[in-house]
């Protein structure tokens, strides 16, 4: 972008203020009005970048423009204009002369600001927040880098890029789940961290963090580990400010600690309430100490909280940007973009001369700081996945993958690691075909750069096989698993955990190919080996024992299957806990086995207990709770308690239709159970109508020759026979037979 470029025929770019991975900020001249402005430009991203990442980034930019342009207050940065020019999105705003709070702390060598400045900043920010909150706008990323102190003393809030409009929750929540702007760990409220409801009181908490830092020189939870910081915000009471700076007035300590209350209800009601508290406290504290002389700053101890006990999954993470201090990213240059955004950093200050940039190679060597940021975001995505937040994790990994590809190249191990995680999140969110393409791409890239037998290459190929199985392509999956297994055996041996994992997956796939004896033998061998290597109670051992039980059931060996399922359920209860989903799943299979053995009274008792536990843990509308209730109904029928069975089936079907939809497979299974109950009660006319509903829905969704559709038409024909309509029944049986034959011919 040339220095003399004219944006939209009006804004002439003069001096570069800041540059980041996604764009630039320029000091510019508005040729129409003859004034200097700041222009923020999002540089064009080509087709080589991840399209989801591009879409979210552009939406975020437009969002910032729309939200910020609507705000008119002396404490908020003024946006003059925004638009798009030759594919470049731009935002025009007032040019701010001053320093953000992060820079002020840096200038003061990380010592706290004078008390009078802390009070003045608190009052002005409270006024600005009161205004923005009245507009139903929550900033969501308040931090020192987003609060500017101008040369005339005015304080302004900047960067409403991830603000949430009260009436537009869904749109913004998608943007904040991408990792582009998810809030900064040192200033996030507990409700942001927990994914709960966020309102204006979240900004008050973030302001409390900012005031704590400018009053003491350190943030309230000063850990080097990002997730440790989040856990601190969520669970740990902050130390009083006067433990770090004894001369602080007591009212500052009280006000800031009130802002840092863990629950929103315990904080000030709103920013106006905060402003009143500050005014009243200042008025009643005439003996407040004089401002601290910044030339002789007090020596503030730097708290280290690393010794606190934190979950093991918080280890190895790095923090996001804080105002300053000893973060793992402390070498990142401070934000010098005149408050326009905390995301873009540069060494060029507003009043420095413009630096002449030397010619760059085609792919410049990325800075260690950028790589550290990307690693931190990658790890944040992994942690979201561990929490089961797969959609958010996927957005984070897509964004990081796009930036890594741009900075490092498509075949760099870090880029491929991000792509691998993208594939993993896609498979966990039902986008199986997309996951297959992603894993294939990763496998090819790793084979090119690392070799065919490298563990990372084999991991990608193994995930490719798993996704092929999810798509029902079990023969293709079998070929990939067999090839990967040969490599694993050759490189790491038969009892390496990776080899055993591959053999487990192969056993699973064999059962889906109908090779039940082979599946059983392999699963039994893997379970024995895993018990020897990992221990009998290890979750991986129990997963394979579960597969052994499944194979036994498919072979009709239900007594052995029942014993194995019970062994797995007991082992999981001890290792994972009685309420763990895997424990409850094993108990469900125990009930299936009891029913298959004709022990319906025991199965009914088990399913009723399971329904109670599922309801307590997951709620009455959860799919697994309803599946257990379906088991209750089935076993009531087997005990000839048909009125109760019919009532249970109708209740479960109604909930499934409301929660899952009328054509969901589980809903149709429940509807069929209604028809079964009606038939056993002799109400064949009513049963016929329900059987037809199920058959028509399955044909509509699955096709006329799908096995489930054909089974439903057989049910309908049987019902016609019971009604004495033999001719119609015979015709329907013939139609079903013809469709089966056609399907068989296509299969050959």
From the candidates 50, 81, 141, 224, give the one annotated as an active-site residue: 141
724 φ, ψ to 5°?
Answer: 80, 15
Cα–Cα distance for residue pair 132/341, rounded to 1 Å: 18
Question: 79: part of which helix (H) or strand (E)?
Answer: strand 79-85
Cα–Cα distance for residue pair 333/352, rounded to 1 Å: 15
CA atoms within 13 A on the CB side of 710: 15
First to last CA, the chain: 62
Cα–Cα distance for residue pair 292/444, rounded to 1 Å: 62
Cα–Cα distance for residue pair 275/122, rounded to 1 Å: 8
Neighbours of 166 (CB within 10 A): 12
Q: Which residue in 14, 4, 74 sits closest to 39, CA to CA?
A: 14
Cα–Cα distance for residue pair 426/67, rounded to 1 Å: 32
Q: Tell me how far apart the 2 most distant CA atoms of the chain are, in Å.
A: 103
246, exposed or middle or buried, with CB in 10 Å at 0-12, 13-18, 19+?
exposed
User: 141 an active-site residue?
Assistant: yes
- Residue 42 bridge partners (DSSP): 23, 89
Residue 23 and residue 161 in contact, taking contact as beta carbons nearer than 8 Å: no
Angle at 460 between CA 455 and CA 464, to 5 degrees: 140
- Six-digit token string for 655: 């909930």
- Residue 29 bridge partners (DSSP): 12, 36
CA dihedral angle for residue 311, residue 314, residue 319, residue 324, rounded to 10 degrees: 30
Q: What share of the chain is helix, strand, coil (3-state, %, to 5)?
A: 60, 5, 35
82 φ, ψ to 5°?
Answer: -155, 160
387 φ, ψ to 5°?
Answer: -85, 0
Angle at 455 between CA 520 and CA 531, to 5 degrees: 35
From residue 709, alpha-carbon distances to 168, 469, 695, 712, 713 in Å are 42, 22, 6, 5, 6
Neighbours of 324 (CB within 10 A): 20
Neighbours of 661 (CB within 10 A): 10
Residue 393 and residue 320 in contact, taking contact as beta carbons nearer than 8 Å: no
Catalytic residue numbers, as ranges: 141
């Amino acid at each position: 972008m040339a220095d003399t470029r004219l944006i939209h025929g009006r804004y002439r770019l003069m001096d570069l203020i800041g540059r980041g991975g996604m764009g630039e900020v320029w000091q510019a001249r508005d040729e129409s009005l003859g004034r200097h402005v700041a222009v923020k430009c999002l540089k064009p991203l080509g087709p080589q970048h991840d399209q989801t990442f591009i879409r979210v980034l552009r939406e975020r930019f437009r969002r910032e423009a729309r939200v910020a342009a609507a705000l008119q207050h002396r404490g908020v940065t003024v946006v003059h204009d925004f638009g798009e020019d030759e594919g470049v999105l731009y935002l025009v705003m007032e040019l701010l002369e001053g320093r953000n709070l992060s820079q002020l702390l840096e200038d003061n060598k990380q010592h706290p600001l004078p008390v009078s400045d802390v009070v003045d900043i608190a009052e002005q920010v409270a006024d600005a927040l009161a205004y923005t909150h009245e507009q139903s706008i929550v900033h969501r990323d308040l931090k020192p880098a987003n609060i500017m102190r101008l040369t005339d003393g005015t304080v302004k809030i900047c960067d409403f890029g991830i603000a949430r409009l009260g009436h537009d929750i869904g749109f913004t929540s998608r943007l904040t789940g991408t990792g582009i702007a998810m809030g900064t760990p040192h200033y996030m409220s507990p409700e942001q961290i927990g994914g709960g409801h966020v309102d204006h009181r979240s900004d008050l908490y973030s302001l409390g963090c900012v005031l704590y830092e400018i009053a003491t020189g350190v943030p309230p939870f000063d850990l080097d580990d990002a997730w440790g910081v989040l856990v601190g915000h969520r669970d740990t009471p902050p130390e009083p400010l006067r433990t770090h700076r004894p001369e602080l007035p007591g009212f500052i300590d009280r006000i800031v600690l009130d802002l840092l209350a863990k629950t929103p209800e315990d904080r000030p009601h709103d920013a106006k309430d905060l402003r009143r508290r500050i005014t009243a406290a200042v008025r009643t504290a005439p003996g407040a100490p004089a401002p601290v002389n910044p030339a002789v700053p007090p020596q503030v101890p730097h708290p280290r909280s690393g010794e606190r006990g934190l979950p093991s999954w918080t280890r190895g993470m790095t923090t996001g940007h804080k105002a300053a201090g000893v973060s793992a990213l402390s070498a990142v240059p401070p934000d010098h973009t005149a408050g326009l955004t905390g995301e873009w950093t540069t060494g060029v200050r507003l009043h420095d001369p413009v630096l002449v940039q030397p010619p760059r190679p085609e792919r410049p060597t990325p800075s260690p700081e950028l790589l550290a940021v990307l690693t931190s975001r990658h790890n944040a995505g992994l942690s979201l996945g561990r929490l089961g937040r797969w959609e958010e994790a996927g957005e984070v990994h897509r964004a990081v993958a796009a930036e890594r590809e741009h900075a490092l190249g498509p075949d760099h191990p870090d880029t491929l690691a991000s792509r691998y995680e993208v594939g993993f999140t896609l498979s966990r969110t039902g986008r199986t075909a997309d996951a297959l393409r992603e894993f294939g791409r990763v496998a090819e890239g790793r084979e090119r750069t690392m070799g065919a037998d490298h563990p990372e290459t084999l991991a990608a190929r193994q995930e490719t096989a798993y996704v092929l199985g999810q798509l029902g392509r079990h023969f293709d999956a079998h070929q990939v698993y067999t090839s990967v297994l040969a490599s694993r055996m050759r490189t790491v041996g038969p009892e390496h955990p990776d080899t055993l994992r591959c053999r487990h997956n192969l056993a699973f796939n064999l059962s889906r190919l109908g090779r039940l004896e082979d599946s059983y033998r392999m699963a039994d061998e893997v379970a024995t080996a895993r018990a020897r290597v990992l221990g009998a109670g290890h979750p991986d051992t129990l997963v394979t024992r579960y597969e052994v039980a499944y194979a036994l059931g498919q072979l009709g060996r239900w007594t052995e299957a029942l014993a194995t399922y019970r062994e797995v359920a007991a082992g999981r209860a001890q290792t994972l806990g009685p309420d763990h989903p895997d424990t409850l799943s094993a108990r469900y299979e125990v009930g299936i086995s009891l029913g298959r053995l004709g022990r319906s009274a025991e199965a009914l008792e088990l399913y009723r207990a399971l329904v109670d536990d599922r309801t307590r843990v997951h709620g009455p509308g959860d799919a697994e709770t309803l599946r257990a209730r379906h088991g209750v109904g089935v076993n009531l029928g087997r005990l000839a308690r048909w009125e109760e069975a019919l009532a249970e089936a109708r209740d479960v079907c109604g909930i499934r239709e409301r929660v899952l939809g009328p054509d969901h497979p589980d809903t149709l299974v429940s509807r069929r159970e209604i028809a079964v109950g009606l038939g056993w009660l002799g109400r064949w006319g009513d049963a016929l109508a329900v059987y037809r509903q199920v058959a028509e829905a399955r044909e509509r969704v699955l096709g006329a020759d799908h096995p489930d559709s054909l089974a439903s038409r057989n049910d309908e024909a049987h019902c016609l026979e019971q009604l004495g309509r033999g001719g119609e029944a015979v015709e329907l049986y013939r139609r079903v037979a013809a469709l089966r034959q056609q399907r068989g011919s296509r299969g050959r």
